[in-house]
Amino acid sequence: MTMSSEKSQKPQGCVVVTGASTGIGAAAARELARRGFHVIAGVRRDQDADALRTDRIEPIILDITEPDHIAQLAPLFADDSRTGALRALVNNAAIQINAPVETLPLDEWRRQFEVNLFGHIAVTQALLPALLRNSGRVINISSVGGRVAMPAYGPYAATKFALEALSDSLRRELAPLGVRVVVVEPGAVRTEMSDRVIAATNQQAAAMSPEQRDRYGRLIQAVNAQAAAHIPNGRPVDDAARVIAKAVTAGKPRTRYTVGGDAALITRLSRVLPDRTLDRMLAFGLRPHYPTTSTA
């Protein structure tokens, strides 16, 4: 899409997207701009801003764990004449390290919660007055890991389960006030984050004690091998971006959308299968990825 085609579209208002440096966030920013929105895209680095900027995409440096960064958001909508009315907030920023519950230091647990949960709460609190004025929407990007917690995904899944609960409560609080809250649950999506997660998981595994390595070394290798095997078959980021755009624009949005057949299947199974049956199914899927000997 050219800049001139962006200019020719009638403005649809503004959408804020966090975690827009790469992956799903960047794709969502571009898709929403293509549909005529002015997009304020939160990024972490100047080079990411330069890569994303167009007539319809306005990047800002935004670390959602930094109070000073959060404080800059509300003033952007003190006067809607520049950006247009705030129609939606897409809470997308996230980090992930996979590790057994026993082995991940508490500081790393807290860091994941700061980004994946508390940062979203801070951004939502800052922008809710503008969303309430405009009957806007909050779109929370969760994960299939927000419905099913696989082994070694406990820290990440815990943040996403919490985000799902937060979304349910927020939806029920804001529905009478005209603001809709929607959750998007991607499954396997081909993003730069996938490779970073494997690298971070390996780094964390290297810090385990010898006893922990004996207990969990083969599990970590299997989890990483399974993740690597799924990357080539993951959905393209543009598919996730279109689902997010649907959540923003649908006249009567669902409370939850999945991205990819794997997410749809797992979320359905999680609702109907007994826990032990689901445990066995997940263990069966992981079994082929175990090494014969541990090298962790």
- pLDDT tens string 51-86: 999 999 999 999 999 999 999 999 999 887 778 899
Q: Average model confidence (pLDDT) for the chain?
A: 93
Domain extents for the chain?
A: 8-187+237-271
pTM of the model: 0.92
Under CATH, which architecture does the 8-187+237-271 domain have?
3-Layer(aba) Sandwich (3.40)
> Six-digit token pair at 218?
């083969």
Instruction: State the catalytic residues.
Output: 156
Q: For residue 34, is pLDDT > 70?
A: yes
Q: Per-residue pLDDT averaged across 229-244, rounded?
A: 92
Alpha carbon distance 17, 292 (integer Å): 44
Q: Which residues pair with 88 in a beta bridge?
A: 15, 137
Write the pLDDT tens digit of every residue in 122-176. Answer: 999 999 999 999 999 999 999 999 999 999 999 999 999 999 999 999 999 999 9
Q: Per-residue pLDDT averaged across 31-45, rounded?
A: 97
In the sheet that 180-186 helps form, which strands lie side by side, from edge to edge? 57-61, 38-43, 14-17, 86-91, 137-141, 180-186, 256-259
pLDDT of residue 232: 85
Choice between 194 and 269, residue whose per-residue pLDDT is larger: 269
**CB neighbourhood size of 264 (10 A):** 15
CA 178 to chain CA centroid, Å, is: 24
